[in-house]
Amino acid sequence: MKKIIVFLSVLTLFSCSSERKAQYHYKKALKHGLKLIQDSDTIQIVSIDSIPIIVNDTIIWEKIITSKDTIVFFKNVYVPKTKWQTRIEYRYKTKILKQDVLKYKYIYREAKEKRKEVQLTKTKTNWSLFFWGFLAGFLTFLLLRFISKIYLPFK
């Protein structure tokens, strides 16, 4: 019997009490983005009432001003999103990414085609310039060789 009492007392001391559960859920909420805000503003609500008072067979309306203080929180606390909300956001983000990929794919393809066109036009002008330069160099070589044979025939 003593062992059972000791076991039950140890079990109740170290069990998951409501305070521990609250601590666990609080830490879990902090991990998921809960932000505690301790700023609050006080608003004073003023109301004007009128009460009828009878004086010497006449009714006089008297104004009474009452004020009440209320505490109003203006800032919102972040509430973690549900599983369905995160799924919808994820689908939306992936759709946007796919659209961006396709858009940039077509832009890249168009730029690549333009680059090919520019390279084709450059190669045509460069080959003609190369040909004329080679021809001018070859003619200069032949001319210098001919001149050297005329002036130095037995070298």
Instruction: Print pLDDT tens along the chain (155 aa).
Output: 777 777 777 666 666 666 677 778 777 777 776 666 555 566 666 777 778 888 888 888 888 877 776 655 555 556 677 888 888 889 998 998 888 888 888 888 888 888 888 777 655 556 788 899 999 999 999 999 888 888 876 66
Asked if 122 and 128 touch (Cβ cutoff 8 Å), the reply is no
Tell me the residue ranges of DSSP E strands in the chain.
41-55, 58-72
Enter the pTM of the model. 0.26
Asked if 78 and 35 touch (Cβ cutoff 8 Å), the reply is yes
